[in-house]
Amino acid sequence: MERQITGTAILLAARDRWEQGYEFAVDRKLDVDQHNLFKQLIEKTTRGLSETYLKKGEFPSGESYTYVKQHHLKGVLTYDSVNPEAPLVIIDGKPYKWNEVGHLLQAFEGFQMKD
């Protein structure tokens, strides 16, 4: 867990130990009860880890594939030091290249997106 204090707020963050992965954070004004803020971070992390958005399958030929479960995808955009022209997208704690996410979404051609 990491704690950052700015001029008006405190931020608690929980991150994977690896370079790319899960990250959860909560922030409030400086006068907040930090024990309650920590509880909120634990609850947010528990919720975030309990739901996954991608699932792996296998074709009859034995070739594997990944697909979006239940037509819902959530991820975090982050900088890709290997290809600064496009972001990495962290989904289910794993980094995916921008074109890999595009490939995952091809099945939804014609659908609308929202943030």
Please check the confidence at residue 17 and state whether its pLDDT lies above 80: no
State the chain's mean pLDDT as an integer: 91
Evaluate if pTM is beyond 0.85. no
- Which residues fall within 8 angstroms of residue 74, CB to CB, at 6 or more apart? 51, 53, 91
Residue 19 pLDDT level (bands cut at 50, 70, 90) = low
For the stretch 56-98, pLDDT in tens is 999 999 999 999 999 889 988 989 999 999 999 999 999 999 9
Model pLDDT, residue 57: 94
Q: Which residue has the higher pLDDT, 91 or 19?
A: 91
CA 109 to chain CA centroid, nearest Å: 23
